[in-house]
Amino acid sequence: MKLVVIEGVKTLQLDLTTTGALALLLLTLGNFIRKRLPIFQRMTIPSSVIGGFICAITVLLLRTSKLLYIDMDTTLQLPFMLAFFTCVGFGGSFKMLKAGGRLLAVYLFSTWILAIIQNLVGAGLAKSLGINPLLGIMAGTVSLVGGHGNAAAFGPIAESAGAQGASAVALAAATYGLIVGSLLGGPIGDWLLKKNKVEVTPDAEKINNVESETDNTQTEEKITKITSTNFLAHLTIVFVFMAGGILFSELIGLLQIKNFAIPNYVGAMFLAIIFRNVNDKNKIFHMEQPIVDLILDVGLGMFLTMAIMTLKIWELAELAGPLIIILLVQTVVLFIFVILFVFPLLRGKKDSENAYDAGVLSGGFMGWGLGIAATAVVCMSAIVEKYRKASPKAFLIAPLCGAVFVDIVAIPTIIFFIGLFS
């Protein structure tokens, strides 16, 4: 950590260790606030969002007042993210994926439809508001479905096609999406479950019922004792697949398949799913789910806290009035799409066993439709935490569809619309 002067302004540069320590403090603070203020639990706002936003807003105030700039080293964000998605993969059996086949198909189809809708809304509104339609596309599928990655990639392309300031607009819109998506997804998923009177039996209650029917000796045998030895063994497995995911993604990249790439965390999750199913049959490694869940929780909490605390909220100030209107309309359109199309299709029949998964996935879809796959995860995590009931299908379907398979339609759609209005 050091204090330097950049362009006449004092800048506090936090190194990897200091940034990690700050993230831990913010996550702990978020947990404390969430417990003391029940409104955050009722609104399904995660601890990582609470702590992360406290930091992001503080950084914004210091920056706008020219008192101090803060530059953080987010190197640790990637390994924490990889650890989380690897552990998600360890929970994905092929039997479960087969059982969730219809959910996956509906969710994926919904992501494709939304990718088209957001471009139509963005370009149409931009044209009616008297600005370049390409800027509307930057505030549509490029930044909302695509996130900062697509914003950085397609912004220069739009600028070369005549849309001045397209990169800034796309990045600012992506920032808007992350903020609003992470705030709305959880509450909307929760509201859908309540509105449709979905009965949810917490996993904890199921466990208690089972324990009451068994003797104390059997119960004690089922308790997992976490020791340094078995924790280290599980951590080793997780890191091996984290590294394997990176290599897998890089190998896919070497194939140079047009408009197709697999993010590192999706590669890690794929390999972990394969290992889980091979391990189920051959018993290569005795995997204790409580230890995997512990690594998963820590990875998710740290990754999301670091992602939110480093948001550049000041980029939103660069949005002009018409673009703010476009983003607000995009948000309303997404909300209507989720409650009238996504949730009903995912749920199916009124008394369907998929009702709870449909609510969790719908909350994730709201977060993803404005942010990225990780935003979907934080929204779904908040719902799962509130109801104390896991949704393994949701945590496999949402990242796979929202990070990989959506691009089958989203990327060609973006290219088509940019070409149309160039």
Residue bearing the bigger pLDDT, 50 or 349: 50
- Greatest mean pLDDT among 26-40, 251-265, 302-316: 26-40
Asked if residue 336 has pLDDT above 70, the reply is yes
Residue 364: what residue type? G
Residue-wise pLDDT for 72-123, tens only, equals 998 998 899 889 878 877 876 666 666 657 888 899 899 999 999 999 999 9
Give the pLDDT score at 93: 67
Q: Mean of the pLDDT values across residues 179-187?
A: 90
Q: Which residue has the tokens 């290219």?
A: 415
Residue 391's DSSP bridge partners are none
Residue bearing the bigger pLDDT, 102 or 204: 102
Asked if residue 131 has pLDDT above 80, the reply is yes
Asked if residue 419 has pLDDT above 90, the reply is no
Which pLDDT band holds residue 232 (cuts at 50, 70, 90)?
A: very high
- Which of 43, 44, 49 is CA-nearest to residue 371? 49
Residue 132: what residue type? N
Which pLDDT band holds residue 259 (cuts at 50, 70, 90)?
A: low
- Give the C-alpha separation, 297 to 200, whole Å: 22
The DSSP annotation for 117-142 comes to HHHHHHHHHHHHTTS-HHHHHIIIII
Q: Say how far residue 154 (Cα) sits from the centre of its chain.
A: 21
Give the pLDDT score at 92: 67
E strand or H helix that includes residue 295: helix 289-309
Asked if residue 218 has pLDDT above 50, the reply is no
Q: Mean of the pLDDT values across residues 213-233?
A: 63
Asked if residue 239 has pLDDT above 70, the reply is yes
The two three-digit tokens of residue 346, written as one number: 């995912």
Give the pLDDT score at 87: 85
Which pLDDT band holds residue 15 (cuts at 50, 70, 90)?
A: very high
Which pLDDT band holds residue 166 (cuts at 50, 70, 90)?
A: confident
Q: What is the mean pLDDT of the chain?
A: 84
- Out of 34-43, 66-75, 389-398, least confident range: 34-43
Asked if residue 208 has pLDDT above 50, the reply is no
Contacts of 244 (CB under 8 A, 6+ apart): 267, 268, 271
Residue bearing the bigger pLDDT, 398 or 405: 398
Give the pLDDT score at 211: 43
Residue bearing the bigger pLDDT, 341 or 160: 341
- Out of 70-84, 137-151, 196-210, 354-368, least confident range: 196-210
Give the pLDDT score at 219: 43
Q: Where are the alpha helices (DSSP H) in 223-288?
A: 228-254, 264-282
Residue 10's DSSP bridge partners are 5
The two three-digit tokens of residue 404, written as one number: 């990989």
Which pLDDT band holds residue 216 (cuts at 50, 70, 90)?
A: very low
Q: Mean of the pLDDT values across residues 147-169?
A: 79
Query: Which one-letter DSSP state was computed for residue 404?
Result: I
Residue-wise pLDDT for 133-155, tens only, equals 999 999 999 999 887 767 867 88
Which pLDDT band holds residue 323 (cuts at 50, 70, 90)?
A: confident
Q: Which residue has the tokens 């194939």?
A: 255
- Which of 43, 313, 317, 323 is CA-nearest to residue 184? 43
- Give the count of alpha carbons within 13 A of 226, CB side only: 12
The overall pTM is greater than 0.75: no
